[in-house]
């Protein structure tokens, strides 16, 4: 039906007025008041088409320019095509070799979705034996270091294309050779057969080329001594596990000396008092080293006088053996007749003893060789046939190189993994020499002092991006395989060398090249890459013939020994930072020094006696100068146990060219080093001048009280006390009444941990391991000063001071004694993490139930629920709870790896990154527990003992930490809980911790005249 009704818009329409009809089709009937809106000035805009195009063009280009700014694109895209072998959420493990230092520890690299995120020792590796040190653990972060070079550099400018560099370098090398100029490849000690072979190819192409080995830390004293004594210029292999008596003259073999993880694994095998026997370890040293803190008997000794003490030891032994003594007027002796006593015990354990020395003086080392020969230790505790390749550096070669460089006969230098401009004692001369060279190439993967002077920087891959082989010890091959494709436009050094040697690109590929070197037996290659190591049957150790004139050496040593008691400076390596190559790695600075507990700085450590004499106090800022070099404005640390009259400063600091973290951190002590008789000397002779500046500098220490104040949460006893009564200091069984109901753990697991204070060396590997595993933030020096480090596990280090008849742990008592007492110290290291108390005091006080108890005995943190009252932290008697005072990620105030996308790649995806305002703490690595339980469930079996390892346990080189299920009666943890030495820290508080500690036993005669106990 059609609508006939017509609705008018107005009377005009009805009437059909002509005006209306005319405008009917328009959108607006009325004329728009355009003239009112657009005033005269606007109307006569003289813009024409050309102007319009101008404006338009400008706008478009402006917008385009503005849009050119790189907007970060954040990808979170799942795999479209799943790579073979990668299941998102599941970790893959690859065997590789840690190149954090030159030791060559075999490692297992954990990768998640193609990113390596954690390393643990490879149990098949005879070097690491399944453990990894703090430095090695931390080295994974160097892969994700934002300060790495993204591209090669030509004269400091980035160059995307490698071919230009290669052409340049090859033509320059060619012209140098044709002008008969020398070419040198300066490399850190190489023990890679493939690299050595590549160098041979390089030398074939460039006949004037030679290889110069350069290491920042020298062991040439031992190399040259062995050359003179036995005709073999090698480092021997040491077998601390076969030694019942160990006498170390300053050698920090548990911390920094040659191969610390390997030595710790060996050393600890004889440190369990079960069965009534333990090795006995004497340490004579100037600075308190990690090894010194673990010795049974530690006596302070002036390192400059080590020679004459070695002579005394030799003579004491010769007396016992009835052989001829060395010609000295009077035998020197250390406090407590330590030399005589140790000689007696060494002699009684002939063939099962070991004398080592840190000294880099060839004569000292020859004498040590003589002592070990006399003791019959070669072939048992010392093995020259299966020698070590961990250091081959001999100063003479490098000195020759520097003078050739200065004279201009060397025109081309290629630095591979070496940074001598930083660590060479006379770096000014080296830097001057480099200016004369026509070609300087560095393979540094980030800016360093040497690469800064290099015209070409050809960044090497991080070792986790590389293929490689190494022979750290004769017959022990350890392989490196990439676990991630190169993050940046970098190239392996070996490929660079091969390409410059004219090898065709296909053959120069690191993988192809190394594989071809192992082509003789393809099965070896596949299996070795799988295992990470390949071990040739070892040669049988034998006794070498000894050919050195000890009388002559003794005369020289006596003549060179300092006559008076003038002060001396010791330059040493710190655990963690070591030689300073990884100075830009924040984990290494965040982990406190195991002895001083100082983070982020080096300092001059000095004995209490010497400090009193010079009027120095802790944190005073001084200028120190010795032998023409001086360091200004360096803080002082009073170090108990330091030999009086000695000052010490650590190497590895004061980098002038490094990333944000490492640059200008601490002071560089390398220029103090001197070469004496062809080897680098680490105890610096010459008058030590101390000049107080009147300033103070607050050293960031994580522990500022150093004694246990007579409390018995740390228990220790001597071996004979233990043999008389295995429960010594552990006798009292507390009969505690509890107000709380007991938890029922009978169903399922009950996790627990045991920590052997006797095994723990305090090395800090667990701390770094935990840092990585649990995404613990790095907070920096200022926060540590405010006592806010975030470590979930810490190692408490306690001194006790002994007088002839008692030993003191109370500060008041110590202050009453004279300062001599600071020389005679004993040290205990106690790792402390959350003790997962069954009656946890933190759980009851949380108002919102953010920390609760699990059915498996874990004390759990629910970050989401935490509101941050911090009451739990106050009520924790172990003080292991850590609060997120700030947001530590994406915060420019904490510009470490959590503040950039690259650094964040190291984050463990199984662990939450905590936000600000919440409490956190050790979780017993619950993510690892869950993973272990899941895999057991998938395979329909029970979780096996040892299957679940916490990060601290898996890192520990001394097997001091054992984790497991206490509901399994056969588990190691269950057995350890029944051990006589097992006790709980602060058991009397009634909180039922799930971590048990085991009494420290020292192999000394009892002098516990008055050990304090409370009932």
Residues near other proteins, by CB under 8 A? 703-711, 713, 783, 786-789, 794, 796-798, 830, 832, 841, 844-849, 865-871, 873-875, 877-879, 881-887, 915-919, 985-986, 989, 991, 1014-1015
Cβ 463 to other proteins, closest distance in Å? 35
Cβ 889 to other proteins, closest distance in Å? 12
Please, are residues 364 and 307 in contact by the beta-carbon 8 Å criterion?
Answer: yes
Cβ 788 to other proteins, closest distance in Å? 5
What's the DSSP call for residue 989?
A: G
Residues 150-183 as b or e (16 or more Cβ within 10 Å = b): ebbbbeeeebeebeebbebbbebbeebbeeebbb
Cβ 664 to other proteins, closest distance in Å? 25
* CA gap 328, 318 in Å, rounded: 13
Map tokens 């993988």 to a residue.
Answer: 511
| Residue whose CB is less far from other proteins, 501 or 919 | 919
| Residue whose CB is less far from other proteins, 811 or 945 | 811
| Residue whose CB is less far from other proteins, 305 or 829 | 829
Overall residue count recorded for the chain in this entry: 1015
| Residue whose CB is less far from other proteins, 362 or 596 | 596
| Residue whose CB is less far from other proteins, 882 or 928 | 882
Please, are residues 308 and 561 in contact by the beta-carbon 8 Å criterion?
Answer: yes
| Residue whose CB is less far from other proteins, 31 or 739 | 739
Cβ 106 to other proteins, closest distance in Å? 34
Q: Determine the straight-line distance between the first and last CA of the chain, rounded to whole angstroms.
A: 109
| Residue whose CB is less far from other proteins, 376 or 868 | 868
**3-state secondary structure (DSSP) of residue 959:** coil
Half-sphere exposure of 620 (CA within 13 A, CB side): 18
| Residue whose CB is less far from other proteins, 56 or 740 | 740
Question: Hey, which bits of 804-842 come out as E strands?
Answer: 806-808, 825-832
| Residue whose CB is less far from other proteins, 664 or 782 | 782
Write the CB contacts of 858 (distance below 8 Å, at least 6 apart in sequence): 751, 836, 923, 924, 926, 929
Please, are residues 453 and 424 in contact by the beta-carbon 8 Å criterion?
Answer: no
| Residue whose CB is less far from other proteins, 902 or 986 | 986
Cβ 708 to other proteins, closest distance in Å? 6
| Residue whose CB is less far from other proteins, 494 or 599 | 599
* CA gap 1001, 140 in Å, rounded: 35
Please, are residues 895 and 888 in contact by the beta-carbon 8 Å criterion?
Answer: no
Map tokens 């070795």 to a residue.
Answer: 528
**3-state secondary structure (DSSP) of residue 727:** coil
| Residue whose CB is less far from other proteins, 710 or 726 | 710
- Geometric angle at alpha carbon 1004, from 1001 and 1007, rounded to 5°: 95
Write the CB contacts of 994 (distance below 8 Å, at least 6 apart in sequence): 750, 751, 752, 753, 835, 836, 837, 838, 857, 966
Cβ 779 to other proteins, closest distance in Å? 9
- Geometric angle at alpha carbon 693, from 692 and 695, rounded to 5°: 115
Cβ 762 to other proteins, closest distance in Å? 12
* CA gap 781, 793 in Å, rounded: 18
Residue 90, both tokens: 């599941």
Cβ 618 to other proteins, closest distance in Å? 14
Cβ 795 to other proteins, closest distance in Å? 9
- 703: closest CA among 745, 762, 760, 646? 762
| Residue whose CB is less far from other proteins, 613 or 853 | 853
Cβ 605 to other proteins, closest distance in Å? 19
Residue 355 backbone dihedrals phi, psi, to 5 degrees: -115, 125
* CA gap 104, 479 in Å, rounded: 9
Cβ 547 to other proteins, closest distance in Å? 52
Cβ 639 to other proteins, closest distance in Å? 17
């Amino acid at each position: 039906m059609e609508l006939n009704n017509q609705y008018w818009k107005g009377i005009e329409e009805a009437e059909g007025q002509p005006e209306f009809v005319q405008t009917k089709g328009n959108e607006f009937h009325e004329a728009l008041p355009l003239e009112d809106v657009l005033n005269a000035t606007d109307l006569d805009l003289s813009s024409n088409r050309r102007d319009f195009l101008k404006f338009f063009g400008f706008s478009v280009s402006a917008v385009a320019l503005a849009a050119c700014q790189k907007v970060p694109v954040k990808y979170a895209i799942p795999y479209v095509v799943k790579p073979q072998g990668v299941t998102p959420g599941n970790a893959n493990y690859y065997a590789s070799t840690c190149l954090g230092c030159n030791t060559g520890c075999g490692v297992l690299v954990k990768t998640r979705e193609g990113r390596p995120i954690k390393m643990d020792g490879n149990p098949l590796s005879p070097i690491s034996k399944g453990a990894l040190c703090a430095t090695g653990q931390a080295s994974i972060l160097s892969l994700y270091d934002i300060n790495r070079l993204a591209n090669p550099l030509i004269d400091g400018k980035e160059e995307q294309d490698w071919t230009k560099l290669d052409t340049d370098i090859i033509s320059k090398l060619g012209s140098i050779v044709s002008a008969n100029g020398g070419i040198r490849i300066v490399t850190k000690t190489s023990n890679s057969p493939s690299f050595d072979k590549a160098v041979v190819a390089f030398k074939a192409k460039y006949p004037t080329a030679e290889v110069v080995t350069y290491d920042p830390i020298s062991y040439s004293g031992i190399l040259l001594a062995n050359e003179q004594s036995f005709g073999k210029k090698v480092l021997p292999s040491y077998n601390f596990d076969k030694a019942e008596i160990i006498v170390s003259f300053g050698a920090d073999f548990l911390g920094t000396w040659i191969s610390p993880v390997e030595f710790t694994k060996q050393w600890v095998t004889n440190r369990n008092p079960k069965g009534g026997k333990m090795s006995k370890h004497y340490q004579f040293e100037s600075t308190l080293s990690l090894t010194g803190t673990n010795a049974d008997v530690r006596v302070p000794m002036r390192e400059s006088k080590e020679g004459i003490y070695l002579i005394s030891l030799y003579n004491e032994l010769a007396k016992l053996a009835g052989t001829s003594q060395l010609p000295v007027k009077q035998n020197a002796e250390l406090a407590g007749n330590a030399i005589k006593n140790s000689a007696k015990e060494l002699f009684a354990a002939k063939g099962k003893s070991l004398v080592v020395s840190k000294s880099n003086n060839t004569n000292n080392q020859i004498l040590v060789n003589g002592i070990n020969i006399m003791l019959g230790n070669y072939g048992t505790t010392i093995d020259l046939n299966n020698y070590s390749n961990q250091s081959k550096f001999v100063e003479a070669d490098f000195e020759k190189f520097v003078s050739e460089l200065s004279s201009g006969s060397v025109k081309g230098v290629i630095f591979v993994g070496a940074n001598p401009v930083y660590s060479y004692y006379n770096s000014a001369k080296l830097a001057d020499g480099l200016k004369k060279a026509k070609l300087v190439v560095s393979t540094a993967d980030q800016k360093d002092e040497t690469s800064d002077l290099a015209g070409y920087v050809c960044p090497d891959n991080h070792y986790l991006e590389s293929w490689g082989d190494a022979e750290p010890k004769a017959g022990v091959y350890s392989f490196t395989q990439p676990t991630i494709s190169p993050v940046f436009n970098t190239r392996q050094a070996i490929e660079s060398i091969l390409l410059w040697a004219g090898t065709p690109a296909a053959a120069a590929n690191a993988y192809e090249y190394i594989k071809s070197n192992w082509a003789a037996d393809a099965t070896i290659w596949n299996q070795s890459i799988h295992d990470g190591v390949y071990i040739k049957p070892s040669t049988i150790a034998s006794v070498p013939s000894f050919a050195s004139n000890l009388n002559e050496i003794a005369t020289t040593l006596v003549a060179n020994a300092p006559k008076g008691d003038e002060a001396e400076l010791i330059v040493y390596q710190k655990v963690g930072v070591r030689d300073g190559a990884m100075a830009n790695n924040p984990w290494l600075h965040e982990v406190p020094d195991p002895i001083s507990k100082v983070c982020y700085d080096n300092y001059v450590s000095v004995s209490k006696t010497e400090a009193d004499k010079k009027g120095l106090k802790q944190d005073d800022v001084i200028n120190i100068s010795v032998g023409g070099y001086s360091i200004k404005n360096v803080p002082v640390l009073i170090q108990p146990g330091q030999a009086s009259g000695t000052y010490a400063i650590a190497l590895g600091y004061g980098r002038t060219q490094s990333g944000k973290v490492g640059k200008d951190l601490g002071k560089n002590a390398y220029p103090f080093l001197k070469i004496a008789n062809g080897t680098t000397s680490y105890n610096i002779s010459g008058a030590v001048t101390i000049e107080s500046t009147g300033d103070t500098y607050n050293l960031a220490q994580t522990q500022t009280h150093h004694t246990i104040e007579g409390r018995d949460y740390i228990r220790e006893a001597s071996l004979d006390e233990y043999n008389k009564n295995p429960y010594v200091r552990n006798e009292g069984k507390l009969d505690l009444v509890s107000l709380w109901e007991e938890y029922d753990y009978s169903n399922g697991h009950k996790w627990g941990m045991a920590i052997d204070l006797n095994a723990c060396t305090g090395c800090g590997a667990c701390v770094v391991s935990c840092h990585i595993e649990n995404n613990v933030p790095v907070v920096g020096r200022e926060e540590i000063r405010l006592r806010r480090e975030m470590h979930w596990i810490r190692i408490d280090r306690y001194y006790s001071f002994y007088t002839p008849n008692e030993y003191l742990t109370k500060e008041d008592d110590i202050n009453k004694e004279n300062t001599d007492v600071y020389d005679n110290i004993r040290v205990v290291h106690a790792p402390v993490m959350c003790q997962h108390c069954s009656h946890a005091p933190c759980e009851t006080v949380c108002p919102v139930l953010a920390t609760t108890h699990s059915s498996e005995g874990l004390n759990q943190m629910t970050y989401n629920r935490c509101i941050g009252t911090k009451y739990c932290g106050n009520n924790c008697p172990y003080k292991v709870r850590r609060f997120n005072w700030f947001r530590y990620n994406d915060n420019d105030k904490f510009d470490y790896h959590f503040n950039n996308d690259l650094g964040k790649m190291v984050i463990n995806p199984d662990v939450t990154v905590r936000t600000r305002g919440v409490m956190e703490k050790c979780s017993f690595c619950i993510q690892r527990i869950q993973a272990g339980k899941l895999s057991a469930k998938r395979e329909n079996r029970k979780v096996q003992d040892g299957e679940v390892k916490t990060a601290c346990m898996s890192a520990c080189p001394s097997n001091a930490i054992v984790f497991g299920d206490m509901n399994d009666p056969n588990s190691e943890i269950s057995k350890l809980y029944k051990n006589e030495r097992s006790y709980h820290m602060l058991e009397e508080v009634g909180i039922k911790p799930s971590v048990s500690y085991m009494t420290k036993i020292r192999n000394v005669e009892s002098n516990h005249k008055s050990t304090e106990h409370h009932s």
